[in-house]
Amino acid sequence: MAGARRARASRPSARRPGRRSGRCGASRGRRARPPGAAGSRVPAPRARSPPRGGRAGGARRRCRWPSCGAPGGLDRGSRGAISSTLRAISLHSGQRRSRTESMSREQAQGSVKVLTKAVAVLDALAEAGELTPAQLSERLGEPRGTLYRVLAALEEHDLVQAGARRGGYQLGLHLFTLGNAVARRFGDERAAALPAMERLNDATRQTVFLTVRRGFDALCVERIDGQQVGVMILPVGGTIPLHGGANARALLAFEPEEFWRRYAEHAPLTAFTPATETTPDGLYRQLRETRDAGYSLSDQDVIPGIASIGAPVFDHEDRVRASISLSGPRPAVLESSFEDNVRLVREAAAEISRLLGRDAAARTAPAERR
């Protein structure tokens, strides 16, 4: 019997599901109370409240830094270190942007300087016809190495080409294409003016110019050389300030007086010769005399010994569109045939104005710009 008891003790007990070992209310005949009921020995679990900030609710604190995954809060030292790091990163980014912007500005300024040097080279070649890098260096004051690089870039675009002399350069043929494109802008003026210019040249045997205003300058768009003086200032494409010469003042005089003042304030009244008027009051007097007379005179104020007569050309809106002038030795222009020369110049200007649509009876007065 003792062995049977030991066997039963070593055999695992089969418990029914849901039954607890030990004493319980069911074994005493009492119905089991639900957890939390009165008299129950099992404590009811406390309902969890949603997490709250602060320590009073016992909720776990989260880091205030969005990128930090730490469940707990950071101490003051860690927060200070992170703030310092972010400030350093922001400062570094700002410095990098500043350096990038500064480099961009420097590159732009460098490009402008190179372009300025290239234009200076083209101007020098246009004036001299053909120059070597050594001659260009002497004229422009630039190192030969810089000029070699500029010339190589211009030659690549056919803006300059090898000259007849060894090592020389001259203007390239691509400039001829560009020049024709610009000349087409003044096609109406040139086509209307050329017959009248030829007749004026035949009648006086002096050099005849057709000019238009470009900002504060007079731009020569056509020219017929005279028999007595073939080489003079202002080639086709050349410019002269509006206060210098009869052709330029014929343009300026028939602009509104507000433009006169703007010109006198912003454009330097350069003296070409001792006869050049360089004061605003003196220039205003010349312009009023030109406007009242209907033509302008130049008596050696651009080139010593050379005089000229100019008259304005108007368009269909009665605005000054161009000017025509003749230039030559002072005795031939202002002495022996002065009255005839004035009449011929004014007649040529009136003929061109009619071809551009201006009424022949319109008075020669400045057209106010709208």
For residue 118, give the nearest of 64, 60, 171 by alpha carbon: 171
Question: Residue 213 domain-assigned?
Answer: yes
Of 142, 176, 210, the residue at which a domain comes to its end is 176
The count of structural domains within the chain is 2
> Domain holding 304: CATH number?
3.30.450.40
For residue 221, give the nearest of 207, 241, 242, 237 by alpha carbon: 237
Distance CA 296, CA 212 (A): 15
CB atoms within 10 A of CB 209: 28
pLDDT tens by residue, 26-54: 444 444 455 444 444 555 555 555 555 44
Distance CA 93, CA 116 (A): 35
Residue 29, pLDDT score: 45
**Do both 202 and 240 map to the same domain?**
yes
- The range of the structural domain enclosing residue 123 comes to 98-176
**Do both 234 and 213 map to the same domain?**
yes
**Do both 172 and 250 map to the same domain?**
no
Question: Residue 159 domain-assigned?
Answer: yes
> Domain holding 118: CATH number?
1.10.10.10
Whether the CB-CB separation of 196 and 351 falls below 8 Å is answered with yes
Residue 234, pLDDT score: 86
Both tokens assigned to 245: 């010469």
Question: Residue 298 domain-assigned?
Answer: yes
**Confidence check: pLDDT of 230 > 90:** no
Characterise 215 by phi-psi region: left (phi > 0), alpha (psi -120 to 50), beta (else): left
Residue 178, pLDDT score: 84
Query: What is the pLDDT averaged over residues 218-238?
Result: 82
**Do both 338 and 218 map to the same domain?**
yes
**Do both 214 and 285 map to the same domain?**
yes
**Do both 203 and 160 map to the same domain?**
no
pLDDT tens by residue, 8-28: 555 555 444 444 444 444 444
Whether the CB-CB separation of 104 and 119 falls below 8 Å is answered with no
Residue 53, pLDDT score: 47
How many angstroms separate the first and last alpha carbons of the chain? 134
**Do both 167 and 231 map to the same domain?**
no
For residue 254, give the nearest of 265, 242, 238 by alpha carbon: 242
**Confidence check: pLDDT of 328 > 70:** yes
**Do both 231 and 274 map to the same domain?**
yes
**Do both 155 and 289 map to the same domain?**
no
Residue 56, pLDDT score: 46
Of 157, 176, 195, the residue at which a domain comes to its end is 176
Of 176, 201, 217, the residue at which a domain comes to its end is 176
pLDDT tens by residue, 76-116: 665 666 566 656 556 555 665 565 565 566 666 667 788 88
**Do both 249 and 134 map to the same domain?**
no
Whether the CB-CB separation of 251 and 312 falls below 8 Å is answered with yes
